[in-house]
Each structure stands twice: as structure tokens, then as C-alpha cells.
Amino acid sequence: MLEEIESFTTKHLDECASLYVEVFNGEPWNEQWSFENARLRLFETLMTPGFVGFVLRQDKLLGFVAGYCEQVQKGKGFYLKEICVRPDNQRQGVGTKLLDRLMDVLTAMEVTMVYLLTMKDGQAEAFYTQNGYQRSQRMILMSKRLSEDI
């Protein structure tokens, strides 16, 4: 079976949205994504200026990575907004292959830093740590609920 990494485009939206729902509605995230909301989230990311994303296929979609470049103090930063790997293909190198391709492209684009948000102390944080990422000592995530419905 031939493995193929290609650029994430609008033709991948439906398949990626379905995978997004499968992954993030399951353990450990237990979120409540509908297909329509997941598709809209990915579409909005895809349409963001500076978008960079890839899908990895091997007969079927195994995973994808997506985010966008933006100006930072000294150079160009990349916000790694989404990485998603089919549950039965996790821990098989799919996410690392996607990150490696992304890093090759970002390096060629002279991106100086990559940042992301993820659940702390979990499998995702361990994955990023194994791939050279570290917790920021200077930044935290803060949020404010504007509705009790979320």
C-alpha cells in the first residue's frame, strides 16, 4: 500500500471533518463535534491567510495536520491548529510523518517558531514532547465563557 502525503485542500474537507469528529468525540477528548461544525472549523482554518496543511493517505485518510503562519516579534510563527490521526493508526508514526513534512515546509518558508494548544498531561502532550516541543514557561491559556451552553 502506497503512503502519500499531499497538501490539504478543499477537496479533503469532508473526509477530514469526518475524521475530526471520530477523533475528538472519542477518548480522551470526549467533545461533541457535529460533522457540520467540524467541517466549518477546518474550512475556516484552510481559508486563513498563511495556511499550511497536509493529509496522509494509504488507501484511506490516516491523518492530517493544519495551521497557519503569522507575524511574530522576530520573524514568522506558525500556529499548529490541528493534527488528527485515525485512532487505529495512532502510535504508528502517522503524526510524526505529518509533523516532519510540516517542519520541512516551514523551515523552507523561514518560519522561526511553531506553537500549539493541547490538553496537558495527556497522550497528546507526550506526543509533542517526543517530537521536540516543550511547555511554555511564559505563556498560559486563559478563557472566559460567554454562554453557559458551551
Q: What is the CATH number of the domain that holds 51?
A: 3.40.630.30
Split into its structural domains, the chain has a count of 1
pLDDT tens digits in sequence order for the chain, 150 residues long: 789 999 999 999 999 999 999 999 999 899 999 999 999 999 999 999 999 999 999 999 999 999 999 999 989 999 999 999 999 999 999 999 999 999 999 999 999 999 988 888 878 878 878 888 888 888 887 778 888 776
The string of DSSP codes covering 126-143 is HHHHHTT----SS-----
Cell of 75: 520573524
> What range does the domain containing 38 cover?
4-130
Residue 49 lies in a domain: yes
Whole-prediction pTM value? 0.90
Residue 96 lies in a domain: yes
Residue 110 lies in a domain: yes
Give the Å distances, CA to CA, from 129 to 87, 99, 121.
Answer: 19, 12, 11
